[in-house]
Amino acid sequence: MPPDSPPLSRRDALIKLLRVAGAGAGAAGLGIWLSEHSWRPVSELAIAAKHGHTIASDPQLPEMAVITGDDPAQLARRAIEELGGIRRFIARGDVVLVKPNIGWDRTPEQAANTNPDVVAEIVRQCSNAGAKRVIVTDTSCNDPRRCFQRSGIAEAAQHAGADVILPDPAMFKDVDLQGEVLHAWPVLSPFLNVDKVINVPIAKHHSLTGTTLGMKNWYGMLGGPRHQLHQKIHESLVDLADFVRPTLTILDCYRILVRNGPTGGNLQDVLLKKTLIAGTNPVALDAYAAKAFWNLEVSDLPYLKMAANRGLGTYDFEKVRMQIKTL
């Protein structure tokens, strides 16, 4: 100690000691607390969000309507009418999610995405029925900005009053799908916590199953490594359909892609069928469309039987109350 510095008073020395002791105790406390919180990192538990969106069936009304005509919007309107009108499906104040196929960077004429007029008409109907909010979204395969714009769906749905949601990477939540092959998967969050879900797929050729119809559209709910789903495509389809259990399915067969699906691009691959198939039984609906447009039997599409066994509906469309109309 240099001779000219004043001697340390007892009081100052005590304060100094207390400070050091405090810091030491704090460090020890924090250290012990942290060491007790050391465990191997595990990913967050997936949210269990499974709940159906179906409505009670009505023996007076058809389960399926097949409408043919020139104007896609009119077809959608008529199909819903035949099934009992939109108010049967949508209650005042409902939050409705409309799920078209907006998977590819293609225009409506190329028939790789759902017809925008059909989507817009469904949105309009839901709004008229008093829905609080109508969401239109999909997880596109190609760049979603382009798919939403060039498919014409974003514009048409927005004009009809829908809330069009581009899939943001931050918008996926890990969900336990409680399926047989699908468990924890990232799901686009608007699919969770809605009252009603309307599936609006388009019928297309697909090399693995021959055709892609209604149930395959649920792929668009998922993020993550969904390309692995093809390895067990039938089981995956049923798991997804079982998870969602939609209120209504409206299959767009106005233009169908008969070759080089699901991307297409060549107008020679497109057939004009001017048909819409709507129904509350997604299994019968897929079975019917497969037979009508691809001449595929139930045995060609194993997922139909699996879905029936899971209680999602019957594949025997002949026994389903059906309304077939040409406008």
The reply to whether 264 sits near another protein by the rule CB under 8 A is: yes
Using CB under 8 A, which of the segments 19-27, 223-231, 302-310, 315-323 binds another protein? 223-231
97 binds another protein (CB under 8 A): no
Distances (CA, A) of 251 to 5, 50, 57, 199, 279: 92, 24, 19, 8, 9
In the complex with another protein, which residue's Cβ is closer, 209 or 280? 209
Q: Which residue has the tokens 């382009």?
A: 146
Site for another protein (CB under 8 A): which residue of 99, 124, 150, 255? 150
Q: Which is nearer to another protein, 143 or 316 (CB)?
A: 143
Answer yes or no whether residue 193 interacts with another protein by CB under 8 A.
Answer: no
Q: Which is nearer to another protein, 84 or 210 (CB)?
A: 210
320 forms part of the interface with another protein (CB under 8 A): no
> Does residue 41 touch another protein according to CB under 8 A?
no
Complex with another protein: residue 151 or 275, whichever CB lies closer:
151
138 touching another protein, by CB under 8 A: no
Select from 240, 210, 207, 235 the least CA-distant residue to 222: 240
Tokens 């309304």, residue located: 323
Q: List the one residue from 68, 74, 107, 314 that touches another protein (CB under 8 A).
A: 107
Residue closer to another protein (CB basis): 220 or 279: 220
Min dist CB 268 to another protein, Å, is 8
Does residue 25 interact with another protein by CB under 8 A? Answer: no
User: Which token pair is 89?
Assistant: 């499906």
- Which residues have CB under 8 Å from 318's CB, separation 6+? none
- Indicate the pairing of strand 202-206 with strand 248-257: parallel
74 binds another protein (CB under 8 A): no
Among 62, 246, 262, 282, binds another protein (CB under 8 A): 262
- Does 161 bind another protein (CB under 8 A)? Our answer is no
> Of 34, 59, 170, 295, which one interacts with another protein (CB under 8 A)?
170
Which residue, 68 or 158, has its beta carbon nearer to another protein?
158
**C-beta closer to another protein: residue 110 or 249:** 110
CA distance 111 to 282: 21
Q: Does 149 bind another protein (CB under 8 A)?
A: yes
Q: Compare residues 110 and 323 and give the one whose CB is closer to another protein.
A: 110
Q: Which residues contact 301 (CB under 8 A, 6 or more apart)?
A: 209, 210, 211, 234, 286, 287, 290
> Residues binding another protein: what is the number (CB under 8 A)?
46
Q: Name the residue among 192, 182, 136, 194 with its Cα closest to residue 160.
A: 136
Using CB under 8 A as the criterion, which residues of the chain lie in contact with another protein when the complex forms?
Answer: 105-108, 110, 116, 141-146, 148-156, 158, 164, 166, 168-170, 206-208, 225, 227-228, 230-231, 233, 259-260, 262-269
